[in-house]
Amino acid sequence: MKFYPSIAGPVVFILFSITILILMPGQIKIRADQMITARTFPTFLAMIMLGGSVILLLREGLKVLRKVPLETIELNILTELKALILMGLLILYAVLVTVLGFTLSSVLFSLLMLYFFRVKNWKYYLIVVIAAVSISLLFRYGLNVRFP
């Protein structure tokens, strides 16, 4: 699948900066008599993002007019799908931590990850399980962190 990062990027940042500017009055309350306020700097940054993105889009527009080919990236659907599955696994791990506790969910997660990577060597499974338990113990007793 073809993807145009040089257009998608600025569009994302234009939308983001406009959203910031729209939300600003509701999210940052200020006193009317002050000139330099808590809004000054975020507004300045939103303007930089907006202005920069417009420049990038105009540059791409010029390329189109000059008939210079735009930069394209061939997105590998399978790779992106795998990234999505990995993200799903990370979210699942976060949910499991609150339900099963850190150590058990870490063990389960590491096993799931190895399965995801299609690892068949049982020694690898043993290594990651030992590592998961060791990390939990290290944080619990070494750094005194009380996991759920």
The Cα 49–Cα 55 span in angstroms is: 10
Q: Is 91 in the site for another protein (CB under 8 A)?
A: yes
Strand segments, DSSP code E, in the chain are 2-3, 73-74
CA-nearest of 129, 127, 124, 97 to 110 is 129
74: β partners: 2
Binding residue for another protein, selected from 18, 56, 100, 104, defined by CB under 8 A: 56
Which residues of the shown chain bind another protein in the complex (CB under 8 A)?
A: 3, 5-6, 8-9, 12-13, 20, 23, 27-30, 35-38, 40-42, 44-46, 48-49, 52-53, 55-56, 71, 73, 79-80, 82-83, 85-87, 90-91, 93-94, 97-98, 102, 106, 109-110, 113-114, 117, 119, 124, 127-128, 131-132, 135-136, 139, 143, 145-148
